[in-house]
Amino acid sequence: MAILIGDTAPDFEADTTEGHIHFHDYIDGSWAVLFSHPKNFTPVCTTELGYTAKLKPEFDKRGVKVLGLSVDELKNHGGWSKDIEETQGTALNFPLIADEDRSIAVKYDMIHPNADNTLTVRSLFVIGPDKKVKLKIEYPASTGRNFDEVLRVIDSLQLTARHQVATPVNWKNGEDVIIVPAVTDDVARTKYPEGWTTLKPYLRIVPQPRT
Ligand code: BEZ
């Protein structure tokens, strides 16, 4: 059955480049990004993993643990990591799961038989500290994902979790946000004593909360 936003992220145990993990214990109250790529030693994947390694300080700042997943063997990951460092300028600095028996890929619907029967598509899940799926994206093998966009969505998700605000089209960190409809004007007056702009009763704009 497909995993949907709001579902609990399936638990699993796995061998990774940083040791054996039990996923739910590993999350341990943090946010997490779990993403699959089709295969080791392939060009698009090499660029994605190098860029994600470069972004590690940004994920750390947001309290997000990143995990890659490949259906290749653990012993292949080391050699590929050297290639990633050589060509992308940054070595792998987060765990890469070796899902040789594809059991995790199957649990997370990362294998799409009509695309390829054996390799994973480019799936990505953002998982909250409550272990619920907050974002799910899927790209074909030939298109590298935009990990700056992943950070942007995490910023939006974390603002929603902390402040009950939503983010408008093409929002970027620092720009105005939307007070969610579930917050009444009475409650909003306490949260935003400096006020907000009402464009419509359901469209109330406020500067991005800073904390
Ligand atoms: C890649 O990562 O470069 C790739 C993998 C499978 C098919 C096409 C591209």
Region 23-38: mean pLDDT is 96
199 catalytic? Reply is no
Indicate whether 102 and 26 sit together in one domain.
Answer: yes
In this structure, are 104 and 182 located in the same domain?
A: no
Whether 112 and 178 share a structural domain:
no
Mean pLDDT on 86-101: 96
The answer, as to whether pTM is greater than 0.85, is yes
Residue 154 domain-assigned (yes or no): no
| Sign of the four-CA dihedral 15, 4, 183, 187 | negative
The verdict on the CB of residue 42 being under 6 Å from ligand 1 is: yes
Q: Where are the beta strands (DSSP E) in 55-210?
A: 64-70, 96-98, 122-127, 133-139, 165-166, 177-179, 197-200, 203-206
Same domain, yes or no: 112 and 62: yes
- pLDDT tens per residue across span 179-190: 999 999 999 999
Q: What is the rounded CA–CA span in Å between residue 72 and residue 48?
A: 16
Can you tell me the distance from the alpha carbon of 30 to that of 32, in angstroms, rounded to the nearest whole number? 6
DSSP strand pairing (13-16 vs 19-22): antiparallel
pLDDT at 7 over 80: yes
Whether 60 and 19 share a structural domain: yes
Average pLDDT over residues 198-203: 97
Tell me how far the alpha carbon of residue 140 lies from the centroid of ligand 1, in angstroms: 9
Do the domain assignments include residue 61? Answer: yes
How far does residue 42's CA lie from ligand 1's centre (Å)?
5
Query: Is position 80 within any domain?
Result: yes
What pLDDT sits at residue 210? 86
Ligand 1 binding pocket includes 48 (Cβ within 6 Å): no
90 and 27 share a domain? yes
Annotated catalytic residue: which of 45, 53, 124, 133? Answer: 45
pLDDT, one tens digit per residue, over 149-172 is 999 999 999 999 999 999 999 999
Residue 206, SS3 per DSSP = strand
